[in-house]
Structure 1
Amino acid sequence: MSLMPVATALDRLLASAAEHPPTAVIKVPLAGALGCVLAEPVVAVADVPPWDNSAMDGYALASSDLPAAMAGGLPVSQRITAGMAPLPLQPGTCARIFTGAPLPAGADAVQMQENVVQQGEVAQLQAPVVPGQNVRRRGQDIVAGAQVIAAGVRLRPQELGVIASVGLAEVSVRQPLRVAVVSTGDELVEPGTALAPGQIYNSNRFTLIGLLKSMGQTVLDAGILPDDLDATHARLRELSAEADVIITSGGVSVGEADCLGQALRGGGSVDLWKLAIKPGKPFTLATYAGTPVLGLPGNPAATLVTFLLLVRPYLLTRLGAMDTAAPQFELPTAFAWAEAGTRDEYLRARLEQGAVQLAGNQSSGVLSSASQATGLVCVPAGETFAAGDLVRYLPFSGLLR
């Protein structure tokens, strides 16, 4: 069986995700919307800013009064701070004004205080101004009726600030997916339990739950699935009734002890299996009782890499997100790669002084190197590179959210 290229697998995953309607629309308070996918466009109901205001601490005046302001000065007729409603500017006067305060009617410019000398109640300008100088115009940022943010945007802190600026206290977003997480294997035990011979601690459970929570999804923690075919069928039936997606780790191959793989092939359908990726070759997309099952490899680094590259964009597509691509950059490498592989390889790497360096052991069973890393370097199948060459770098800062 030939291995499927990663790009082909991703296309098929996203096409499969698109066959499912996006989740329901819910209203959430703006303070709780971080990371959510916007379900409806945000339209401004008012101009931002709602009135002309000063960009500086200084003096507001009509530019037609500039000659008098430069010669003998102008009387200061009022003092305007942010939050005040100013009076119209009296002709032939100026107003002491502070940053963010509304510009009084009749004024069209602000001279910064550093260019003004005030003696008593008279201000004399030391430099000229032109109409509009140091003035933030009404609607300069956002005009009423304009679409501020499109549906499908995943909300970051800056989007929350923009939405708040147009006065909205809640937004319509896509309901988080219910994602069941199940680990497989009789060798697994939970941390805090003494290890018996042949046992290991279940790290994948914590990695996957952490990844899903960082995306804001609802996690159904299904624990550890024993190596028993009947029990596997029973658990898959149970989870299929509760979850939108099931994510598993381990047991998806065709070996005698791979009960999950047997159950998916015997009671469900396998849509793709075995990818040209390292680590993560056994990644599987299947369906069981109508519910998608994303089968991740059991090796901890492979679990992490396949989630970031394949599961994350799948889930975002299910949520109706319009941008699911992983951020990536071309950066110079501080190490060489001399042996071309037959699969796209994703190396745990760290960014140091503008170049990427390998981060620890690259075995698929070693997770500590991911903790030392700041991202992944992609080495396409059949390629090598020398130190100093440009490589494709995917930072964790963009993938782990």
Structure 2
Amino acid sequence: MRSVRDHQEAIHGLFGPPEAVEVAVTDALGLVTAVDVVTGVSLPGFDNSAMDGYAVLGADLAEASTEHPVTLPMAADIPAGRTDRLTLTPGTVARIMTGAPLPGGADAVVPVEQTASGPVRGRFAPVDQGPQQIRFTAPIPVGKNIRVAGSDIVAGEVAIRAGTELHAPQLGLLAAIGAGTVRVWRRPRVVVLSTGSELVAPGHRLRHGQIYESNSPMLAAAATEAGALARTVHFVPDDVDGFLTRIAEIAGEADLIVTSGGVSAGAFEVVKDALIATGGVEFAKVAMQPGMPQGCGHVTDPSGQAVPIITLPGNPVSSLVSFEVFIRPPLRTKMGLPPHRARVTARLRGSVGSPAGKRQFLRGVLERDGDGWVVDPIGPPSSHHLRYLAGANALIDVATDITALADGVDVEVLVLD
């Protein structure tokens, strides 16, 4: 049988390098920058107020105190967004709002809470009270409460480095520097197709021998969670011609096709039968549990281009574990994202067995225990026990040469959540 590592390498070879595209900043959440983003503007773009208050010349307030307050007339009103350029005359002040441009000559801003304006203390007086005299009871250092132009970033500097995953703060910075688009690594289009005459869509009544289709939504969700653009297509019955027709229909719209089911050694293995006949796909038994029957290779789209296809086993636990072990890392690499989930060493709580010659991935519940980790194996190892996979937050990775693990030993754990 093929080793897990060898099959990982075979699947990794299906994926080409990341592809750079230009997308709107509003559509870039979770994507990774392909190039450095250099800002064309400084932030702030002009000296502005960090407070609601009064723009002043510090020298005018040098002698101000509680016993000897300084009272100055308000000569101008500067709301945020005012675009004309003002100059402050010595011996006057300008009422100014947070973010508003500082008038020429002003060198400090006194917060409104530290002033008195007629009978109104600690807040702005109504604008209809006529000319206002503002009383100050303390000096203020030059530069106080002023946001200096370029104090955040200067035009020509790198705002976002290549290889940065874009989340809310990075998108906010891109918007602030006026970037409408950003060059990122493209999300692969993943199409998921399940096969099997026994499969029934949710909402329909089951007949004897039928089951609800679960693999397609599960695998599409896993691909989406990994960062790809994933969709499902209607599954097909166990018919080779029907399967090949469906593949031909979707190949031109996919960067990767993922199938589940029909790859084992039974009499109605439609995926295996169809793709062996067309060539381009290799099937193998991989020394792992769950997920032994696997396949990977290429199919041809209508334009003659080769499209990667990965065929997973049909049992739901085998299918999702296979996705985690084989597909998720190269899929994320294709997008410039960190490929691997976290791994930790944990103390096993309970004893388990493992089949000789196979690398086993056991479902487990991982939790902190003081300064370390402990993991509880849950559920039997059979690959149809989806309930226990849904309750797991980790996979216990048992090496090929181990057949038994005793309670309390250290094990390697793949963290799913």
TM-score between both structures, scaled by the size of structure 1: 0.77
Contact 1:46 1:145 survives alignment (8 Å): yes
Question: CA separation of 1:101/1:305 partners in 2, compared to 1, >3 Å: closer, same or farther?
Answer: farther
SS in structure 2 of the partner of residue 248 of structure 1: strand
**Paired residue for 1:313, among 305, 322, 329?**
329
Question: CA separation of 1:203/1:76 partners in 2, compared to 1, >3 Å: closer, same or farther?
Answer: farther
Structure 1 residues 2-401: aligned runs within 5 Å: 2-5=2-5, 9-10=7-8, 12-18=10-16, 22=19, 25=21, 27-38=22-33, 41-70=36-65, 72-73=69-70, 75=72, 77=74, 78-85=76-83, 87-114=86-113, 116-120=114-118, 121-126=133-138, 129-151=140-162, 153-173=164-184, 176-213=187-224, 215=227, 217=229, 219=231, 221-270=232-281, 273-275=284-286, 278-289=289-300, 290-318=306-334, 321-328=335-342, 330=344, 336-339=349-352, 341=354, 343=359, 345=361, 347=363, 349=365, 361=379, 363=381, 364-372=383-391, 375-381=393-399, 382=402, 392=413, 394-396=415-417
- Bigger drift between 335-344 and 200-209 goes to 335-344
SS in structure 2 of the partner of residue 197 of structure 1: coil
Structure 2: state its 5+ residue gaps: 119-132, 301-305
Contact 2:363 2:388 survives alignment (8 Å): no
The structure that has the greater radius of gyration is 2
TM-superposed deviation, 1:46: 1.1
Task: Give the total of aligned pairs.
Answer: 384
Contact 2:263 2:311 survives alignment (8 Å): yes
- Bigger drift between 271-280 and 298-307 goes to 271-280
SS in structure 1 of the partner of residue 62 of structure 2: helix
- Work out the CA distance in 2 between the residues paired with 1:367 and 1:102: 61
- Bigger drift between 184-193 and 30-39 goes to 30-39
- Bigger drift between 117-126 and 193-202 goes to 117-126
Paired amino acid for 1:225: V
Question: CA separation of 1:73/1:223 partners in 2, compared to 1, >3 Å: closer, same or farther?
Answer: same
- Work out the CA distance in 2 between the residues paired with 1:98 and 1:356: 55
TM-score between both structures, scaled by the size of structure 2: 0.74
Structure 1: state its 5+ residue gaps: 397-401
Calculate the aligned-residue CA RMSD, in Å: 3.9
Contact 2:296 2:310 survives alignment (8 Å): yes
TM-superposed deviation, 1:252: 2.3
SS in structure 1 of the partner of residue 166 of structure 2: coil
Question: CA separation of 1:326/1:178 partners in 2, compared to 1, >3 Å: closer, same or farther?
Answer: same
Deviation string 1:243-300 (CA, Å, 9 cap, x unpaired) is: 3211101222344433323444443344684556554444433223322111223222
> What is residue 399 of structure 1 aligned with on the other side?
none
Contact 2:4 2:359 survives alignment (8 Å): no
Contact 1:244 1:292 survives alignment (8 Å): yes
- Bigger drift between 170-179 and 241-250 goes to 170-179
- Bigger drift between 165-174 and 183-192 goes to 165-174
- Bigger drift between 283-292 and 169-178 goes to 169-178
- Work out the CA distance in 2 between the residues paired with 1:235 and 1:304: 22
- Work out the CA distance in 1 between the residues paired with 2:352 and 2:414: 19
SS in structure 2 of the partner of residue 251 of structure 1: coil
SS in structure 2 of the partner of residue 181 of structure 1: strand
Paired amino acid for 1:16: L
TM-superposed deviation, 1:95: 3.8
- Work out the CA distance in 1 between the residues paired with 2:209 and 2:36: 54
Question: CA separation of 1:135/1:204 partners in 2, compared to 1, >3 Å: closer, same or farther?
Answer: same
- Work out the CA distance in 2 between the residues paired with 1:392 and 1:65: 68
- Bigger drift between 345-354 and 42-51 goes to 345-354
Question: CA separation of 1:247/1:107 partners in 2, compared to 1, >3 Å: closer, same or farther?
Answer: same
Percent sequence identity over aligned pairs: 35
TM-superposed deviation, 1:362: 6.0
Question: CA separation of 1:371/1:65 partners in 2, compared to 1, >3 Å: closer, same or farther?
Answer: farther
SS in structure 1 of the partner of residue 193 of structure 2: strand
Contact 1:309 1:326 survives alignment (8 Å): no
